[in-house]
Chains A and B, each alone.
Chain A
């Protein structure tokens, strides 16, 4: 029994790495999603092209390939990344590209009358976006962002293949040391599911918090 406690500790250490990756990756993804999503709606054509190229490239190639590219190929061009940096970079950029489409869709779905009201009130484009459009659009984005965060959590398992000691990697270590396959893998499956459930609960709570006082205004 005592040895299992030690192995469980190993897996929990991995869980912390997985959570770190998920949090940092989500922050990067959120920033990229807004940059690229709003970039695609820009009035300046080159900005639109750049955003479109970013989105199509990262959605078109596999996260796995992007991660390997970041870890094995970038150093050859002189950018050496630690496994954690490569993992956050690949996960954030990949999920950010999916998030960008969510941002674009949500901003476009805000009614025309809101934009007209911004002009009528003499708000600059930036003021209108920040004070009128985004607060309403953000609520629409939240549920899909929650799903994207769970996708990111799941995708973070692939970093174990570039020798970052996340939960999946630690389960492999435990498997190698004990020869038992069922227990470590079942444990991390349950842990992944728990983290995913927490993410979806947190997003639902945030959604309720942000929509307070909006009843009857939004259909």
Chain B
């Protein structure tokens, strides 16, 4: 079987459609993961062990089980409980929850890195807990976290092909349907690999820039 450039050009528009969905899923998933991670990190810091321990267990559980099975769970089990989600929404929720448990660790490290004196100073200035978080802790904790967070968003991008298993028409699914329809696998699957490699390499360059700009967590 030979590589056929004419076929590549013919399937390119369909693949580009898939790339769009892939990027949309990654962006929405990243936003959700950033929020979920922050919520998990804050709940795990709670001094009430009845709240922090179950959250810790749930986060460990989500991190210890495959994203694919979680996606199946969200897409196939929730409708039985009366919650019907479109494939893309289910996929974004799955990505966001799964990677939220990873970003939670980044937030934890970032928050722990803020010097104790800052908390004490906030208390001495009579700031409320909300003010302490939004005005003192977060502005100092966030910038060093940015490269680590971006790293997970790139990792998430590489997991988006899993969404094809719950019928989202992203890049991988488009490629598979082309491959099955024309019975040519080399070009579509290789093109998907090439797309991923190009986008990852570009985003790694972006990541290096972020690292230089904001520094690393030790």
Contacts and interface: CB of A to CB of B under 8 A. Distances in A.
Given A63-B158, A64-B162, A72-B185, A171 B196 contact: no
A1 interface: no
A42 interface: no
- The size bracket of the interface on B is 20 to 34
Contacts of A62: 158-161, 172, 196
A65 B196 contact: yes
B189 interface: yes
Given A64-B161, A175-B76, A182-B80, A73 B185 contact: yes
Contacts of A154: 64-67
A10 to B, nearest CB: 16
B66 A68 contact: no
A158 interface: yes
A175 B79 CA distance: 14
A189 B68 CA distance: 10
B61 A193 contact: yes
A188 interface: yes
Nearest to A59: B200
A193 B66 CA distance: 9
Contact of A181 (B68, B80, B172): B80
Interface in B158-173: 158-162, 165, 172
A185 B197 contact: no
B197 A57 contact: yes
B31 interface: no
Contact of B66 (A59, A155, A197): A155
Contact of A65 (B1, B186, B189): B189
A157 B176 CA distance: 18
Interface in B64-84: 64-70, 72-73, 76-77, 80
Contacts of A68: 172, 176, 189, 192
B121 interface: no
A28 interface: no
Contacts of B201: 56, 60
Contact of B185 (A76, A156, A157, A172): A76
A197 B65 CA distance: 10
Contact of B186 (A66, A73, A168, A197): A73
Contacts of A197: 64
A4 interface: no
B193 A66 contact: yes
Central interface residue in A62, A172, A185, A189, by most chain B CB within 10 Å = A62
A89 interface: no
Question: Nearest 4 pairs between A and B by C-beta?
Answer: A157-B66, A196-B64, A64-B161, A60-B200
Interface of B: 1, 61, 64-70, 72-73, 76-77, 80, 158-162, 165, 172, 176, 179, 185-186, 189-190, 192-193, 196-197, 200-201, 204
Interface of A: 56-57, 59-66, 68-69, 72-73, 76, 150, 153-158, 160-161, 168, 171-172, 175, 181-182, 185-186, 188-189, 192-193, 196-197
27 contacts: A57-B197, A60-B204, A61-B193, A61-B200, A62-B161, A62-B172, A64-B161, A64-B172, A65-B192, A65-B193, A68-B172, A68-B176, A68-B189, A72-B189, A73-B186, A73-B189, A76-B185, A153-B66, A154-B66, A156-B66, A158-B162, A160-B68, A168-B66, A181-B80, A185-B76, A189-B70, A193-B61
